Amino acid sequence: MPAAPSPRLGPLFREAIVSAWKARIPSGLVVFIVAAVCATTLVTVGRTAAAEAQVAERMESAGARELRVTDASQELLTPTVLHQASGLSVVERAIGFGVTLDVTNAAVGRGGLTRPAATVTHGLTGAIAIESGRAPRPGEALVTTRAMSDLGLQHPAGAVTDTDSRTYPIVGSYTPRDPFTQLNSVIIHDPAGPTRAMTVISTSAAQSTTTQDLILRLIDPPDPDSLQIRSPVTLAQVQQEVVGDLSRYGQGLLLTVLGTGGVLVTAVVLADTLVRRTDLGRRRALGAPRWMLIVLVLARTASAALIGAALGTSITLAALLHRGYNLPTTFAIGAAALAVLAATISALLPAFLAAWKDPVRVLRTP
């Protein structure tokens, strides 16, 4: 007797979809289970992933990558050290600061309100963004809007004078860049002056330890106690541990949700194949290969799972968005794909059991 012709996959998939539609109870249960898996994943694992991304984003902020080295002697942070530090591949920017001066409006004199003025010896544009006017030359100053009001200036022009009667022309206004928000008054460009402190921003939080080691090698202090160091290394390590803990928690939660949903899908599909064992046995008796029965069961499950994933993901995303939670679309698509994949894999055992049953025994009537 010649073997039955091998069926094409296209008609087989269409038949699987039609039979899934006719078997509404088991298909509906699969739709419900997969939708619940997607909803649970987005509500729990999704919010955990969002928190993880938020921590990682804060970890990469300039403030979390800031290394500050203070030299009270004002002798170790030379122009050579500052230029070499700026050229390191792990350094985004390096800024040198001199002493802080007390300045007043030169037109008012000593009786005017005093404001602090930070002197910048290196990397001025790494600390501020110029709003109006031009970049200051050596010995010139910039002011913020707040400082203009305090000093009695209507425009970023004029001059300020320090307690030693030195005058610094004002050539523009500025806003401080992150993380130099404390520079909210007056800045004096003084590249020839001594450097008391250097602030280095690493390219990433992961490079904080490397950056600190390289900077200390560049400075090469004769006495380590001569420097005061405020390092982001400990903060970066703690933040990385928090991100790792959140990631492991999310992965464990995801596996639990997918595993639970998979077990339920296995039970539903197994019950469905037992109910339909006569139909499947008849197909085997008529010459259908085992792989065709396996594909038929898997395709039925996958088609129902796709509907459940679409419903569960879209409804949950809309609800979360309404409550102010904006989950990444890529995460939602990935969660839906995992749910469909888990449901399809869960149907493998019932599919193999159905395909390997003896068709004669299945079709035998008592």
Q: Pick the last residue of a domain from 203, 229, 259.
A: 203
Same domain for 170 and 41: no
Measured distance CA(34)–CA(343) in Å, rounded: 7
Q: Are residues 101 and 192 in the same domain?
A: yes
Helices H / strands E in the chain, number of each: 12, 10
In this structure, which amino acid lies at residue 362? V
Contact assessment for residue 197 and residue 71, using Cβ atoms and an 8 Å cutoff: yes
Residues 51, 117, single domain; the answer is no
Chain segment 329-338, per-residue pLDDT in tens: 888 899 999 9
59-63, 90-94, 216-220, 252-256: which has the minimum mean pLDDT? 59-63
Structure confidence by residue, pLDDT tens digits, 100-148: 999 999 998 877 889 999 999 999 999 999 999 999 999 999 999 999 9
Separation CA 167–CA 141 (nearest Å): 10
- Computed over every residue of the chain, the mean pLDDT equals 84
Query: Are residues 73 and 49 part of one domain?
Result: no
DSSP string, 254-316: HHHHHHHHHHHHHHHHHHHHHHTHHHHHHHHHTT--HHHHHHHHHHHHHHHHHHHHHHHHHHH
pLDDT digits 0-9 by tens, 199-239: 999 988 778 889 989 999 999 888 878 898 888 766 666 66
Written as one letter, the residue type at 331 is: F
- Check residue 30 and report its DSSP letter: H
**Domain co-membership, 54 together with 95:** no
Q: For residues 81-88, give the mean pLDDT.
A: 94
Last residue of a domain, one of 203, 222, 249: 203
* % of residues, the chain, pLDDT over 70: 84
Residue 188: name the closest of 154, 150, 161, 148 by CA. 161
Same structural domain, 190 and 248 = no
Distances (CA, A) of 260 to 58, 156, 236, 314, 339: 34, 66, 36, 21, 11
**Token pair listed for 282:** 């008849």
How many Cα atoms sit within 13 Å of 289 on the Cβ side? 11
* pTM score over 0.85: no
Is residue 185, in this structure, part of any structural domain at all? yes
Mean pLDDT of 322-350: 88
- Report the Cα–Cα distance between both ends of the chain, in Å, rounded: 29
Does 282 fall in a domain? yes
176, two tokens:
């401080």
Specify the DSSP class assigned to residue 145.
H
| pLDDT of 2 over the 60 cut | no
Q: How many CA atoms lie within 13 A of 95 on its CB side?
A: 22
Q: How many domains does the chain have?
A: 2
Q: What range does the domain containing 251 cover? A: 10-58+240-363
Mean pLDDT over 348-364 rounds to 67
The Cα 61–Cα 185 span in angstroms is 23
Residues 89 and 192 in one domain: yes
- In this structure, are 244 and 343 located in the same domain? yes
Please give the Cα distance from 130 to 225 (Å, whole number).
37
